[in-house]
Copies of this chain bind each other. A is one copy, B any other.
């Protein structure tokens, strides 16, 4: 349940003034790196900044700038960035808090988007928050996790022929968002494998761990759904945004990203649909196995009960030598074989009867 409680819906103390930037808790702070990429069609400049203000000299040049902050940003760094790029304090608050609902907000001349970056780590789904600011000449991205997923984009930027070099920051914004959306696919693939394995196990050899595993998968799907459903809406909100930050061409590409967001949601819903029936299937499987056991055992017991009755019968001590009814079988010449035969006949008869009824 940890997924839902303390870790996953971070919030400030009720009554805190809006836009207050909380310090991330000391224990969980991921190491912070700030990386700036300054690029035009002609050249690319990629460097790590030790301080947010280090980017100031580059901003005066007629280039496009992408600043990526990896890890839990401290309030100080954010305040500086906020001042330099004129970011809205409410947006910054969302960045620091982390674990916000994906959404798109327009603050005057800027677009602010929160996305969810799902990842499977140690078999459990984890969701990191990605925050993107799109301004006239810059893109700023924040990723709350320990590992920077945007290496591929920097790679693509290095190709001088790449579309990315020749286009504005809106295309960069699209590229980052698209990458994060697409990261849902491998995550769902891993989850799909788990569902598949569980289902096989469940039909063939269910153990007591199976419901627990099932519950854990359901939890992961629920988490994904809670994050990815609004994400779809967030991308759509960018598409519908009427500002001039996005060119029509980038919009076409983003529509493709929107399609992917829908496909990811479709998969989540499909998996939810499949897992919904699995607990019933498990119960049916378990009770089938028990039925089988009980049936065979009961049949064995039932066959021996009349036999034991017969042995008890001839174990009685009636004794009146004067009576002709004094358990004459006991004194017959064929008495014992007769008793054994009787038992064989009874047992065989019951076996045949049960077999015919299909009880074992």
A binding-site residues for B, Cβ under 8 Å: 1-2, 4-6, 9, 11-18, 88, 90, 100-101, 103, 105, 107, 149-150, 152-153, 156, 162-164, 178-180, 182-183, 185-186, 188-189, 192-193, 195-196, 199-200, 203, 208, 211-212, 215, 218-219, 222, 226, 252-253, 255-256, 259-260, 262-263, 266-267, 270-271, 273-274, 277, 279-288, 290-291, 293-295, 297-302, 304-309, 311-320, 322-323, 325-327, 329-337, 339, 357, 359
Minimum CB–CB distance for A40 against chain B, Å: 19
Cβ contact within 8 Å between B163 and A17: yes
Give 8 A-B contacts (CB < 8 Å), ordered by A residue.
A6-B189, A9-B189, A14-B180, A18-B178, A203-B212, A222-B270, A222-B273, A293-B298
- Cross-chain contact of A90 among B195, B256, B280 (Cβ < 8 A): B256
Minimum CB–CB distance for A239 against chain B, Å: 13
CB-CB under 8 A from A263, the residues of chain B are 9, 11, 100-101
A103-B259, A162-B17 as given contacts; A182 in contact with B339, CB under 8 Å:
no
Chain A binding surface, main DSSP class: helix
- Cross-chain contact of A318 among B178, B212, B299, B335 (Cβ < 8 A): B335
Cβ contact within 8 Å between A325 and B333: yes
How many copies of this chain?
Answer: 5
- Cross-chain contact of A311 among B2, B149, B316, B332 (Cβ < 8 A): B316
